[in-house]
Amino acid sequence: MAEIDRRTIQDLGLDGQVLMETAGRSLALWLRQRVSGQKVAFLCGPGNNGGDGLVAARAWSDMGGQVQLFLLSEDLQGDALLNLQRSRRWELARAPLSGPPPAWDGYAFVVDALFGTGLTRNLSPEVAAWVQSLPPERTLAADIPSGIHSATGQVLGAAAWATTTVTFGLPKLGQLLQPGAAHCGQLVIEDIGFPRHLRDSDEWPGQWVDADLLRGWLPVRRFGSHKRNVGKVLVVAGSAHYPGAALLATLGALRGGAGLVYTYTPASAASRLASEAIPLVARGDWLTLQDLEPLKQALAEVDALCLGPGLGSEAETLELVRELLAYSPLPAVVDASALQGLPDQLSPRVLLTPHHGELARLVRAKVSEVERDRLNYAVRAARNWNCTVLLKGDPTLVTTAGGRYLVSNQGTPVLAQGGTGDVLSGLAGALLARGLDSLEAGGAAAYLHGRAGRLSGVPCGLGAEALAGWLPRAFDLA
């Protein structure tokens, strides 16, 4: 974001004052819709974030509102200094941000414009006391709540809680990762004038997955299509211990648009598959190396592989996983216990779909370490195996070995139920079979999976099989 800001000002000649004026006024306009004419406190720091707050305070005064400025410093520079000088000419009430914070009962709202996206150090104890005193239900954050690291979402000692964060240009990763996302409250994205060709450029490593992005990725099923040219998936899943996983992954692939799904599973897990897929039934209660040759033959009939849901972690099964992945040239999604049987190297066409615990085992870290630095650990795994990694969570992250990443925040608590990950695996397999690359398939699967849960309209108890039933509706992005 800083580079977009720099290029807009230095290379394209758009004055930084114009950007700051637009950003600050957007904060005041947000306030006018809610507390028009009332008294608002503006906490302004020493940088450009404070400058945005100073513009907002001046605009709020012009809109008929009452203003109280609390300034962390009056030793400002550049555009922020110009707006401090204007606040003096406007004769806005101001006081130093020092000592104990005031009671906030006399203010309809508080605008937090102390520190923005450049903050990388812990807040001082005095500033921490101020931000912790802010009323969460009446705090508006300018760009990002003070104390949140804009790249990781981690709390830098202490951080403000906001009911709404108005961010400028594009969302920042730290606003989408926890705990930063929770501190932001509702995230509102304001266009302040950054050129579209810069905002949408592929040169930035990260992208936020939304409906517009998916419309450019998802293939259109045209008249004349038939089941063999819209994607064929081989699902290798299930065991006596987890008999339902094969069905759920199969449903994810079918409801995700695959024309044909072949499901290779032990007989103990095959009873419900006949009406949904072409069952390829193995002997025994779990898969072994004896199944390798039949699986090689099945691979010749399909466009993508979905491997892992419910397979179990028997040694023979994991050896089969290693041999199959080493042999297969197809794009593949690898999930669940199959993540324990990875060969030393994979292909960029392979998508791993771990949760935090599984990723921690892959990179030999503690779960708490992964949770604190989700993107970097996902990238580490992608680089270790030269593949793509989808890290489930809030939000879901998808990253390549080269460091490109996607963020999907479509998740919902309704997905917190056994079996929903199996549906996600099948869905990702269908998208690979339909021609998306591994990064696109991961991002699209995460978005559509979460969207299906949201469309169900229930807070919990949906069930994985019912979730799969909502997937076709999720593809309607109109």
Mean pLDDT for 471-475 is: 97
Q: In sequence order, what E strands does 289-415 have?
A: 304-307, 332-334, 350-352, 388-391, 396-399, 405-408
What residues does 187 pair with on adjacent strands? 165
> Whole-angstrom Cα distance, residue 3 to residue 5?
5
CB atoms under 10 Å from CB of 316, counted, come to: 15
Residues in the chain: 478
CATH number of 2-202: 3.40.50.10260
What is residue 246's three-state secondary structure?
helix
Extract the tokens encoding 321: 């996983």
The answer to whether the bond into 413 is cis (omega within 30° of 0) is no
Pairing of strands 396-399, 405-408: antiparallel
Those residues whose C-beta lies under 8 Å from the C-beta of residue 217, and which sit 6 or more positions away, are 436, 440, 443, 444
Q: What is the dihedral of CA 418, 422, 427, 433, to 10 degrees?
A: 180
pLDDT at 454 over 90: yes
* DSSP H or E stretch at residue 113: strand 109-113
Q: What is the pLDDT of residue 201?
A: 65
Amino acid of residue 127 = V
* 418: region left, alpha or beta (phi > 0 left; psi from -120 to 50 alpha): beta
pLDDT at 279 over 90: no
pLDDT at 278 over 90: no
CB atoms under 10 Å from CB of 64, counted, come to: 10
CA distances from 335 to 14, 29, 171, 220 (A): 48, 47, 29, 27
Please give the mean pLDDT across all residues of the chain. Answer: 94
What is residue 465's three-state secondary structure?
helix
Provide the pLDDT confidence category of residue 224 given band limits of 50, 70 and 90.
confident
Pairing of strands 186-190, 109-113: unpaired
Provide the pLDDT confidence category of residue 1 given band limits of 50, 70 and 90.
low
Q: Which of 94-98, 162-166, 273-277, 306-310 has the lowest mean pLDDT?
A: 273-277
% the chain with pLDDT above 70: 96
CB atoms under 10 Å from CB of 219, counted, come to: 13
Angle between helices 78-89 and 16-35 (to 10 degrees): 50
> Whole-angstrom Cα distance, residue 98 to residue 116?
19
Domain spans of the chain, in order of start: 2-202, 211-474
CA quadruple 319, 325, 327, 328: dihedral positive or negative?
A: positive
Say if CB 390 and CB 397 are below 8 A apart.
yes
pLDDT at 148 over 90: yes
Those residues whose C-beta lies under 8 Å from the C-beta of residue 326, and which sit 6 or more positions away, are 343
Encode pLDDT of 325-336 as tens digits.
Answer: 999 999 999 999
> Whole-angstrom Cα distance, residue 95 to residue 81?
16
Mean pLDDT for 81-109 is: 96
Q: What is the pLDDT of residue 193?
A: 77
Q: Tell whether domain 211-474 is in CATH 3.40.1190.20.
A: yes
Encode pLDDT of 164-191 as tens digits.
Answer: 999 998 889 999 888 999 999 999 999 8
Mean pLDDT for 28-36 is: 97
Task: Sheet with 232-236: list strands edge to edge.
Answer: 206-208, 405-408, 396-399, 388-391, 350-352, 332-334, 304-307, 232-236, 260-266, 278-282
Amino acid of residue 195 = P
Provide the pLDDT confidence category of residue 77 given band limits of 50, 70 and 90.
very high
Q: How many CA atoms lie within 13 A of 98 on its CB side?
A: 6
Encode pLDDT of 44-63 as tens digits.
Answer: 999 999 999 999 999 999 99
Question: 96-106: string of b/e by CB count within 10 Å (b at 16+)?
Answer: ebeeebeeeee
Mean pLDDT for 53-77 is: 97
Q: What is the pLDDT of residue 478?
A: 67
Q: What is the pLDDT of residue 272?
A: 73
* DSSP H or E stretch at residue 217: helix 211-217
Name the DSSP letter for residue 205: S
* DSSP H or E stretch at residue 212: helix 211-217
Q: What is the pLDDT of residue 346?
A: 97
Q: Label residue 372 exposed, middle or buried (CB < 10 Å: 0-12, 13-18, 19+).
A: middle
Q: What is the pLDDT of residue 199?
A: 67
Q: In sequence order, what E strands does 209-250 have?
A: 232-236
